[in-house]
Amino acid sequence: MDIKHKEVVDWLREVYGEEQIPPYEKTERSITILHQLMTASRCSEDNAKILADDYVTKTAEYSAEARQLKGWLDPVNISPNTLSEEGQTRLSSLAHTAEILDVQIPTCTNVILAMNELEMNHMQMLVKRKQMQTQSSRLLEMNREVSKKLEEIRGIHQQAELTWQQQQEEHARNVKQEEFMNLKCNNYAADICNYEANLNKVGMTSSITHQALAIQWAELQELEKQVSQLEDQLKSYTLPPDISLAQVEVGAARQELASIMESVAAACK
């Protein structure tokens, strides 16, 4: 016996209980039809059960509401059947008011106490609202200050970016200028090497440089000054009466003059 046939047999036993199950054709088609019928029946039973449970719940709610209404009407000695249409309207209004005020027994005292409590709650809510408004004003002011500071920071940031950009441009110009100067220095160094090579080819020595010639010229000027002083000194001399002594002095002066002239000639060379 397969599972579907077993489920059909169990369902038939639930339906007929202690009674004997009527005979039925045990073919695949009949078993399928009975299984579909079983499924539909159980679904209907579940829906009926849900509906019955809902009815029971509503009945309990209506009963509780009726008891609540009776509890409201008994303290004031009012019966719904004895009220006019206007009285029923007022009673409904009273019930609605009691429901809003959450009053179990709508007596004058309870209603007044509930209204006082409601008024106190209203006052507390107003105080809280005032506090919230004050706090909102403070937060709004703080928000404005923060926004102002943020705008200042943005301005500083933009100025810093502009300054950084200018510094970058200046740095780029300095780098280009440095590259240009290095290139010029390299060119000058190459030119100096070429000129020194050319000077070496033509026999250029350190003795004929401008600095060396300037030093020799200064020495020549000094020697000429000394010669001029010696000539002046020689002119002031008088020959001795003795010819031999005079000849000796003249020879010594000539030797000294020749030595000076040789020094001058050497300096000129």
Asked whether residue 118 is assigned to any structural domain, the reply reads: no
Number of domains, the chain: 2
pTM above 0.85, yes or no: no
pLDDT of residue 6 exceeding 80: yes
pLDDT digits (tens, 9 = 90+) for 199-256: 777 666 666 677 777 888 888 888 888 888 877 776 666 555 566 766 777 777 778 7
pLDDT of residue 21 exceeding 70: yes
Asked whether residue 87 is assigned to any structural domain, the reply reads: yes
Q: How far apart are CA 203 and CA 205, in angstroms?
A: 6
Domain boundary among 103, 138, 168: 103
- The H or E element containing residue 195 is helix 108-201
Asked whether residue 91 is assigned to any structural domain, the reply reads: yes
pLDDT digits (tens, 9 = 90+) for 71-98: 766 666 666 666 667 766 766 776 777 7
What's the domain range around 79? 3-103
pLDDT, position 137? 87
Closest CA to 239 of 226, 252, 229: 252
Domain boundary among 103, 121, 143: 103
Domain boundary among 69, 103, 137: 103
pLDDT, position 106? 61
Question: In 224-249, which positions are buried (b, 16+ CB within 10 angstroms) versus exposed (e)?
Answer: eeeeeeeeeeeeeeeeeeeeeeeeee
